[in-house]
Amino acid sequence: MSQPPQHQDPPGQQAQMQPRPDCGEESYQGHGRLAGKKTVITGADSGIGRAVAIAYAREGADVLISYLSEHDDAAETARYVEKAGQRAVLFPGDLSSPQHCRDVVARAVEEFGRIDVLVNNAAYQMTRESLEETPDEEWDHTLATNLSAMFHLCKAALPHMGPGASIIGSSSVNSDSPNPTLAPYAATKAAIANFSASLAQLLGERGIRVNSVAPGPVWTPLIPSTMEPDKVAEFGSDTPLGRPGQPVELAPVYVLLASDEASYVSGARVAVTGGRPIL
């Protein structure tokens, strides 16, 4: 797959991308692996979050779709969840606000009664060629959205999670091999992997598993909305597999980590990178 040069304003809209990312809308087939589970997925309007929401619904889970302001994309995700016969709850707002993180959890508990799976997936990035041109506010916002939100979501959700529950963080290949033009983003992704590993040890005695997924270059709205058009055209071509990943190619890993089949998998970081090693 290749993509033409293109640009959008952040946060980006999946409907405007060429080609459209494959989130498994037509291909993902469920097998009841998450039957009855109540799930919260942040950044679920598009990209990896949408692919995970579709997969979870087709595996039998209800989904709270947390998103910033991409109402059309989020509504489309909700339609796929409901088409699978599951409940979809749309909840927009800015996760850089600690109170909004608590509100996400409160809404999920109000709708579902409990939380079985929390997927911390929403993220912000921006390409900068030097540290001097990185605004202070952008550094603060990146950390608040990517890392602090995970802390606040997990802290609020834990009283409503029981044995067998699962927390999943979206890390990145940048956690090990940071792109220098994405320094704030890369720093948060390393911290997410580290924080997930800490939580796995803290929560083991409560029977709650915590893992992270480390995607490589994946074709999502984050790319055309945060990179120069010429970089977008080359995106993912330098992987051993020679292309960016599609969001649907991440979904099975998130399903496994949320499922009871992964009952002894905790503290792991699973690489889905197109061949870029994470050791």
* Active-site amino acid positions: 185
What DSSP assignment string belongs to 9-31?
Answer: -TT--GGG-SSPP--STTT----
Residue 33 carries which DSSP code? T
CA angle 4, 44, 26 (to 5 degrees): 65
User: Closest Cα to residue 220, out of 4, 29, 1, 49?
Assistant: 49
Answer for the pair 168, 119: CB distance below 8 angstroms, yes or no.
Answer: yes
Beta strand spans in the chain (E) = 38-42, 62-67, 88-92, 117-120, 166-170, 209-215, 269-272
Calpha distance 183→210 (Å, rounded): 25
Q: How many contiguous H segments (helices) and E segments (strands) does the chain have?
A: 8, 7
- Using the structure block, give the residue that is written with the tokens 């969840």: 81
Alpha helices in 121-182 (DSSP H): 136-143, 149-157
